[in-house]
Amino acid sequence: MNIHSIVAQLPYRDPFLFVDELVHADEEHIIGGYTFDESLDFYKGHFLDKPVTPGVILTETMAQIGLACFGIYLMQGECKKLTTIALTSTDVQFLKPVYPNEKVTVIAHKIYFRFGKLKCAVLMKNAAGIEVCKGILAGMVIEDI
């Protein structure tokens, strides 16, 4: 499996797919990116006249790249059935706002992957390389969803 085929295996599609690209994956970390298009529906009502990406969407973006994509990569060849990683816990710090049309990069480092559970330290940076949020995410393998 190559990193280009991972996104096709995610159980998400527009308008709830927050992965534009995966640029690297190995046994210890994954790196991917997403650009928050200004036409996304949640911008219409989140801080009137000064839209900001909601923290829950930033968390979801980190989880899709840093947990779900990473889990699919790590599970390659291990599972015969359709599987994915379901988010089970988050501890996220929001450091800077993310505005419409900003591109972010998500970098996840594996803390552990065992017994069907994946725990990662995840960091999100904006295009200037500034940390916008970071945290610890955990999930577990779900079969046949």
How far apart CA 78 and CA 39 sit, in angstroms, is: 39
Beta bridge partners of 59: none
DSSP state of 64: I
Of 24, 29, 46, 109, the active-site residue reads 46
DSSP state of 82: -
Question: CB-based contacts of 59: which residues, under 8 Å, 6+ apart?
Answer: 90, 92, 133, 135, 137
Q: Is 46 a residue of the active site? A: yes
Work out whether the CA dihedral 32, 7, 92, 132 comes out positive or negative. positive
Q: Which residues are catalytic?
A: 46
